[in-house]
Amino acid sequence: MRGKIVLTVAVVLSAVTALAGCSGGGSTPDPSTTVSSAAPAPTPSPSMTPSATPTPSTAASVSIPASCDDLGTAATRQQTVGDLTAQHADGFVRPAPTNATTDLSCNWIQEEAAAVLLIISSASAADVESGLASLPAQGYQCQASDDFGAQYCVAPGASTDTEDVVVARDGTWIYLETVNVNARAWLSEIASQVFG
């Protein structure tokens, strides 16, 4: 009987030892070791710091001179209207966008021989675009101009020595009417001055 008990105890101990071997060598695995070996190494996540988002394109700022005496350079202004007399310029009605506000209006004349009328107006960009679209029906030919950095529209006047010109971009409209005066160089300076 004693031999049977010893044998039974030996069998039970062998079984317990065998079961312990199946569970990984009889030791309890370290949880931190198991987690770190099973989990992938953390990857750096993108910074959540707010970055500057690009703002929608807006109309470039314009710089409209406060006075007719500040238009273009002094030398070109003298060449263009230096021999003419500045006159009151309010009340002229010329092609302009809907809802336009006159920012600067200038008029120079030399009796019936020569004249220059320049009007700078502001309106919404949509109204300026609509105004430009209406010009061909009024006899203007329009095109984009690298020189002016804007739309350039010209209509021949009543004679070969007269013409009407519109230079427009975004919310700004420049109208120039000349009689017996070549003001193209001056207009280029004014457009650069206004549009930057």
Give me 195's structure tokens: 């549009």
pTM above 0.75, yes or no: no
Q: Is 175:165 a contact under the CB 8 Å cutoff?
A: yes
Tell me what pLDDT residue 60 has. Answer: 57
| Domain spanning 68-195, CATH class | alpha beta
* Alpha carbon distance 190, 166 (integer Å): 12
* Alpha carbon distance 44, 72 (integer Å): 57
Give me 98's structure tokens: 């809907």
DSSP letter assigned to residue 139: T
First to last CA, the chain: 114
- The rounded Cα 193 to chain-centroid distance in angstroms is 19
Give the tens place of pLDDT for each residue, 75-107. 999 999 999 999 987 777 789 999 999 999 999
Domain ranges of the chain: 2-38, 68-195
Give the tens place of pLDDT for each residue, 102-135. 999 999 999 889 999 999 999 999 999 999 999 9
Give the tens place of pLDDT for each residue, 39-48. 444 443 333 3
